[in-house]
Structure 1
Amino acid sequence: MDTMSRSEAQELLWADHRCFRIDKPCVPSALQLLSPLDGPLERVEKIAMENAVVVFGMSTCCMCHVAKTLLCGMGVNPRIVELDNDVSGPAMERAIIAKMVLLPYSNSDIHQHPPLSSAIKPTLPAIFMGGRLIGGLDHLMALHISGSLIPLLKDVGALWL
Structure 2
Amino acid sequence: MDIVMRLGSEKPVVIFSKSNCGISHAIKMLICGFGANPTVYELDQHPVGTEMENALLALGCHPSVPAVFIGKQFVGGSNEVMDLNVQVSGRILLFFELDYHPKGREIENALLALGSHTSVPAVFIGKLFVGGSNEVMSLNVQGKLKPLLIKAKAIWM
Q: Residue 39 of structure 2 aligns with which residue?
A: 79
Q: How many residues align?
A: 90
Q: Residue 147 of structure 1 aligns with which residue?
A: 86
Q: Residue 73 of structure 2 aligns with which residue?
A: 132
Runs ≥4 residues deviating over 2 A? none
- By relative contact order (CA 8 Å, sep 6+), the higher-ranking structure is 1
Q: Which string of whole-angstrom CA distances, capped at 9 and with x for unpartnered residues, describes residues 43-83 of structure 1? A: 21221111111000101100100110000001111110001
CA RMSD of the aligned region, Å? 2.0
Correspondence 1:47 to 2:12: no
- Residues 16, 68 of structure 2: 8 Å contact kept: yes
Structure 1 runs not aligned, ≥5 long: 1-40, 102-120, 150-159
Name the SS of the counterpart of 2:74 in structure 1: strand
Structure 2 runs not aligned, ≥5 long: 89-155
More helix by share: 1
Work out the CA distance in 2 between the residues paired with 1:124 and 1:45.
15
Larger Rg: 1
Letter aligned with residue 52 of structure 2? M
Name the SS of the counterpart of 2:60 in structure 1: helix
Q: Which string of whole-angstrom CA distances, capped at 9 and with x for unpartnered residues, describes residues 87-130 of structure 1? A: 110111010111025xxxxxxxxxxxxxxxxxxx4331000112
TM-score (norm 1): 0.51
Letter aligned with residue 86 of structure 1? H
Tell me how far 1:148 sits from its aligned partner: 4.9
More strand by share: 2
TM-score (norm 2): 0.53
